[in-house]
């Protein structure tokens, strides 16, 4: 089993100080920060040159932590997570305890319960909502491997994770499902 101790400690320290990290998510390389820190989230929007009207995804390490950030976890969520083996982001209505600029205009938020060992350790150690957005300038291709990340982005973060820098990740972005009323849902990206 890989030892992520140094990377996790350095990443958590950077985010606790309002900083940004560059890290391999359970899908692609991403930019991350404290999802409850509005100023940190704003830094990500500026680096990505992304309109602030777009929401961000939050990562957590367990289904139990969902209730920290949404008002109701419908039973369908457990079923969806069991049925879908690939990374799954679910958009929930009525988010709470998150920076306002992480949320969509309607107050919803996308949250993914990670299954990747590094992401699990990082989320557990941070114990706050972890922003996850692709490490690219808005409108450009997302990076599957570290060396595809623009130098401009690398220079503007506070910590770059060492883990998986040389791995070629053949993982696409997560499946995205939006929860609707009466336990119905809509697949936005598969």
CATH number at residue 52: 3.90.870.10
**What is the biggest distance separating any 2 CA atoms in the chain, rounded to whole angstroms?**
46
Distance separating alpha carbons of residues 5 and 101, to the nearest angstrom = 30
Domains in the chain, number: 1
Whether 1 has a pLDDT exceeding 60, the answer reads no
**50-65 pLDDT, tens digit each:** 988 888 999 999 999 9
Length of the chain: 190
Q: Which domain holds residue 161?
A: 5-189
Q: How much is the average pLDDT of 28-38?
A: 96
pTM: 0.94
Place 145 in a pLDDT band, splitting at 50, 70 and 90.
confident
Q: How much is the average pLDDT of 43-48?
A: 96
Distance separating alpha carbons of residues 10 and 16, to the nearest angstrom = 10
**Which helix H or strand E contains 23, and what residues bound it?**
strand 21-24
């Amino acid at each position: 089993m890989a030892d992520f101790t140094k990377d996790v400690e350095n990443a958590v320290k950077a985010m606790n100080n309002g900083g940004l990290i560059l890290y391999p998510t359970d899908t692609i390389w991403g930019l991350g920060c404290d999802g409850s820190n509005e100023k940190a989230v704003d830094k990500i929007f500026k680096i990505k040159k992304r309109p602030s009207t777009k929401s961000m995804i939050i990562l957590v390490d367990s289904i139990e932590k969902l209730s920290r950030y949404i008002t109701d976890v419908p039973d369908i969520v457990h079923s969806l997570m069991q049925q879908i083996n690939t990374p799954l982001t679910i958009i929930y209505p009525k988010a709470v305890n998150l920076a306002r600029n992480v949320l969509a205009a309607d107050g919803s938020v996308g949250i993914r319960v990670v299954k990747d060992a590094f992401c699990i350790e990082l989320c557990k150690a941070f114990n706050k909502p972890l922003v996850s957005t692709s490490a690219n300038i808005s409108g450009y291709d997302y990076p599957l491997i570290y060396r595809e990340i623009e130098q401009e982005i690398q220079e503007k973060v506070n910590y770059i994770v060492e883990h998986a820098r040389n791995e070629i990740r053949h993982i696409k972005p997560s499946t995205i499902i939006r929860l609707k009323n009466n336990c119905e849902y809509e697949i936005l990206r598969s």
